[in-house]
Copies of this chain bind each other. A is one copy, B any other.
Amino acid sequence: MKEVTTRDQIVAVADQMFYQQGYENTSFADIANAIGISRGNFYYHFKTKDDILEAVIDRRLQDRKDMVAQWDADEESPEIRICKFIDILIVNGEKIKKFGCPIGTLSSELAKLNHPNQDGANALFGLFQAWLRCQFVALGREDDADYLAAHLLARSQGVAMLANAFQDDEFIRREVEQMHGWVAAQAALPGRGATGNC
Protein backbone atom coordinates (compact mmCIF):
# COMPACT_ATOMS: atom_id res chain seq x y z
CA MET A 1 0.00 0.00 0.00
CA LYS A 2 1.73 3.08 -1.29
CA GLU A 3 1.57 6.33 0.58
CA VAL A 4 1.12 9.52 -1.40
CA THR A 5 3.73 11.92 -0.13
CA THR A 6 3.55 15.69 -0.46
CA ARG A 7 6.60 15.51 -2.63
CA ASP A 8 4.84 13.13 -5.00
CA GLN A 9 1.87 15.47 -5.12
CA ILE A 10 4.07 18.44 -5.94
CA VAL A 11 5.75 16.59 -8.78
CA ALA A 12 2.46 15.26 -10.15
CA VAL A 13 0.77 18.67 -10.10
CA ALA A 14 3.86 20.43 -11.44
CA ASP A 15 4.04 17.88 -14.25
CA GLN A 16 0.49 18.67 -15.26
CA MET A 17 0.80 22.44 -14.89
CA PHE A 18 4.13 22.67 -16.68
CA TYR A 19 2.41 20.87 -19.53
CA GLN A 20 -0.77 22.91 -19.59
CA GLN A 21 0.60 26.36 -18.76
CA GLY A 22 4.29 26.11 -19.48
CA TYR A 23 7.20 25.90 -17.06
CA GLU A 24 7.95 29.58 -16.65
CA ASN A 25 4.32 30.55 -16.51
CA THR A 26 3.66 28.19 -13.61
CA SER A 27 4.46 29.71 -10.21
CA PHE A 28 5.02 28.08 -6.84
CA ALA A 29 1.79 29.72 -5.76
CA ASP A 30 -0.07 27.97 -8.60
CA ILE A 31 1.20 24.57 -7.59
CA ALA A 32 0.81 25.18 -3.86
CA ASN A 33 -2.78 26.36 -4.27
CA ALA A 34 -3.67 23.38 -6.42
CA ILE A 35 -2.45 20.98 -3.74
CA GLY A 36 -3.55 23.01 -0.76
CA ILE A 37 -0.18 23.59 0.90
CA SER A 38 1.66 26.81 1.68
CA ARG A 39 4.37 28.26 -0.51
CA GLY A 40 6.83 27.98 2.35
CA ASN A 41 6.36 24.24 2.64
CA PHE A 42 7.63 23.96 -0.85
CA TYR A 43 11.21 24.61 0.04
CA TYR A 44 11.29 21.73 2.44
CA HIS A 45 10.89 19.42 -0.54
CA PHE A 46 12.73 21.31 -3.27
CA LYS A 47 15.45 23.91 -3.03
CA THR A 48 14.70 25.64 -6.33
CA LYS A 49 12.21 25.67 -9.15
CA ASP A 50 14.80 24.02 -11.36
CA ASP A 51 14.88 21.09 -8.95
CA ILE A 52 11.16 20.61 -9.42
CA LEU A 53 11.63 20.66 -13.16
CA GLU A 54 14.27 17.99 -12.84
CA ALA A 55 11.91 15.84 -10.80
CA VAL A 56 9.14 16.38 -13.35
CA ILE A 57 11.42 15.32 -16.18
CA ASP A 58 12.47 12.22 -14.24
CA ARG A 59 8.84 11.42 -13.67
CA ARG A 60 8.04 11.80 -17.35
CA LEU A 61 10.99 9.63 -18.27
CA GLN A 62 9.80 6.90 -15.95
CA ASP A 63 6.24 7.18 -17.28
CA ARG A 64 7.39 6.79 -20.86
CA LYS A 65 9.77 3.98 -20.04
CA ASP A 66 6.91 2.12 -18.42
CA MET A 67 4.72 2.80 -21.42
CA VAL A 68 7.10 1.40 -24.03
CA ALA A 69 7.94 -1.52 -21.73
CA GLN A 70 4.24 -2.31 -21.66
CA TRP A 71 4.11 -2.18 -25.44
CA ASP A 72 7.14 -4.46 -25.66
CA ALA A 73 5.39 -6.91 -23.38
CA ASP A 74 1.93 -6.74 -24.95
CA GLU A 75 2.38 -6.34 -28.68
CA GLU A 76 3.46 -9.11 -30.98
CA SER A 77 5.30 -7.39 -33.79
CA PRO A 78 7.52 -4.30 -34.11
CA GLU A 79 5.09 -3.00 -36.70
CA ILE A 80 2.22 -3.04 -34.23
CA ARG A 81 4.44 -1.55 -31.54
CA ILE A 82 5.39 1.35 -33.79
CA CYS A 83 1.72 1.91 -34.50
CA LYS A 84 1.09 2.10 -30.76
CA PHE A 85 3.48 5.03 -30.72
CA ILE A 86 1.70 6.72 -33.59
CA ASP A 87 -1.66 6.18 -31.93
CA ILE A 88 -0.66 8.41 -29.03
CA LEU A 89 -1.85 11.21 -31.32
CA ILE A 90 -5.35 9.76 -31.16
CA VAL A 91 -5.37 8.47 -27.59
CA ASN A 92 -4.15 11.80 -26.21
CA GLY A 93 -5.82 13.78 -28.96
CA GLU A 94 -7.83 16.11 -26.76
CA LYS A 95 -4.88 17.11 -24.61
CA ILE A 96 -2.66 17.53 -27.63
CA LYS A 97 -5.17 19.82 -29.29
CA LYS A 98 -5.22 21.97 -26.18
CA PHE A 99 -1.59 21.92 -25.08
CA GLY A 100 0.51 20.30 -27.78
CA CYS A 101 2.93 17.45 -27.18
CA PRO A 102 4.27 17.49 -23.60
CA ILE A 103 7.74 16.51 -24.75
CA GLY A 104 8.01 18.82 -27.74
CA THR A 105 6.61 21.89 -26.04
CA LEU A 106 8.85 21.46 -23.00
CA SER A 107 11.92 20.97 -25.16
CA SER A 108 11.01 24.04 -27.15
CA GLU A 109 10.37 26.20 -24.09
CA LEU A 110 13.60 25.21 -22.36
CA ALA A 111 15.55 25.92 -25.55
CA LYS A 112 14.26 29.50 -25.56
CA LEU A 113 15.00 29.93 -21.85
CA ASN A 114 18.43 28.48 -22.53
CA HIS A 115 17.68 26.43 -19.46
CA PRO A 116 20.36 24.25 -17.85
CA ASN A 117 18.00 21.27 -17.99
CA GLN A 118 17.54 21.27 -21.77
CA ASP A 119 19.40 17.99 -22.01
CA GLY A 120 17.00 16.40 -19.57
CA ALA A 121 14.02 17.37 -21.67
CA ASN A 122 15.72 16.15 -24.82
CA ALA A 123 16.40 12.85 -23.12
CA LEU A 124 12.66 12.29 -23.43
CA PHE A 125 13.00 12.60 -27.19
CA GLY A 126 16.03 10.37 -26.95
CA LEU A 127 14.08 7.66 -25.17
CA PHE A 128 11.52 7.41 -27.95
CA GLN A 129 14.16 7.73 -30.61
CA ALA A 130 16.09 4.80 -29.15
CA TRP A 131 12.98 2.69 -28.68
CA LEU A 132 11.71 3.36 -32.19
CA ARG A 133 15.15 2.58 -33.48
CA CYS A 134 14.92 -0.85 -31.87
CA GLN A 135 11.58 -1.47 -33.52
CA PHE A 136 12.92 -0.60 -36.96
CA VAL A 137 15.92 -2.84 -36.39
CA ALA A 138 13.51 -5.63 -35.45
CA LEU A 139 11.71 -4.82 -38.66
CA GLY A 140 14.91 -5.56 -40.54
CA ARG A 141 15.87 -1.96 -41.23
CA GLU A 142 19.09 -1.82 -39.24
CA ASP A 143 20.81 0.24 -41.93
CA ASP A 144 18.60 3.27 -41.54
CA ALA A 145 16.87 2.55 -38.25
CA ASP A 146 18.22 5.76 -36.72
CA TYR A 147 16.87 7.88 -39.50
CA LEU A 148 13.51 6.13 -39.66
CA ALA A 149 13.09 6.63 -35.92
CA ALA A 150 13.91 10.33 -36.14
CA HIS A 151 11.67 10.67 -39.19
CA LEU A 152 8.67 9.22 -37.40
CA LEU A 153 9.37 11.26 -34.30
CA ALA A 154 9.46 14.41 -36.43
CA ARG A 155 6.23 13.55 -38.20
CA SER A 156 4.35 12.98 -34.99
CA GLN A 157 5.76 16.21 -33.58
CA GLY A 158 4.56 18.08 -36.64
CA VAL A 159 1.09 16.62 -36.36
CA ALA A 160 0.93 17.55 -32.67
CA MET A 161 2.00 21.09 -33.48
CA LEU A 162 -0.69 21.56 -36.12
CA ALA A 163 -3.30 19.81 -34.00
CA ASN A 164 -2.60 22.39 -31.32
CA ALA A 165 -2.78 25.29 -33.77
CA PHE A 166 -5.73 24.18 -35.90
CA GLN A 167 -7.77 21.92 -33.60
CA ASP A 168 -8.52 19.70 -36.58
CA ASP A 169 -9.51 16.13 -35.68
CA GLU A 170 -9.88 15.07 -39.25
CA PHE A 171 -6.31 16.11 -40.02
CA ILE A 172 -4.96 14.12 -37.08
CA ARG A 173 -6.93 11.06 -38.11
CA ARG A 174 -5.72 11.28 -41.68
CA GLU A 175 -2.08 11.73 -40.71
CA VAL A 176 -2.21 8.78 -38.33
CA GLU A 177 -3.67 6.65 -41.08
CA GLN A 178 -0.91 7.78 -43.44
CA MET A 179 1.77 6.97 -40.90
CA HIS A 180 0.31 3.51 -40.34
CA GLY A 181 0.56 2.96 -44.08
CA TRP A 182 4.11 4.20 -44.07
CA VAL A 183 5.11 1.75 -41.32
CA ALA A 184 3.57 -1.11 -43.23
CA ALA A 185 5.52 -0.06 -46.32
CA GLN A 186 8.77 0.00 -44.34
CA ALA A 187 8.09 -3.50 -43.07
CA ALA A 188 7.48 -4.76 -46.60
CA LEU A 189 10.81 -3.49 -47.92
CA PRO A 190 13.69 -5.90 -48.63
CA GLY A 191 16.03 -6.55 -45.73
CA ARG A 192 13.18 -7.47 -43.46
CA GLY A 193 13.23 -10.37 -41.12
CA ALA A 194 15.36 -9.73 -38.06
CA THR A 195 13.28 -10.17 -34.94
CA GLY A 196 15.86 -10.20 -32.16
CA ASN A 197 15.55 -7.95 -29.18
CA CYS A 198 17.44 -4.68 -29.04
Contact = CB atoms under 8 A, between A and B. Distances in A.
Interface of A: 20-22, 24-25, 98-100, 104-105, 107-109, 111-114, 122, 125, 147, 150-151, 153-159, 161-162, 164-166, 168, 171, 174-175, 178
Contact of A150 (B98, B147, B156, B168): B168
A25 B110 CA distance: 11
Contact of A158 (B22, B99, B100, B159): B159
Nearest to A155: B158
Given A99-B111, A154-B161, 14 more contacts: A21-B114, A22-B113, A104-B108, A105-B112, A108-B108, A108-B161, A109-B112, A122-B166, A150-B168, A151-B178, A154-B155, A155-B155, A157-B157, A157-B162
Determine the main DSSP class of A at the interface with B. helix
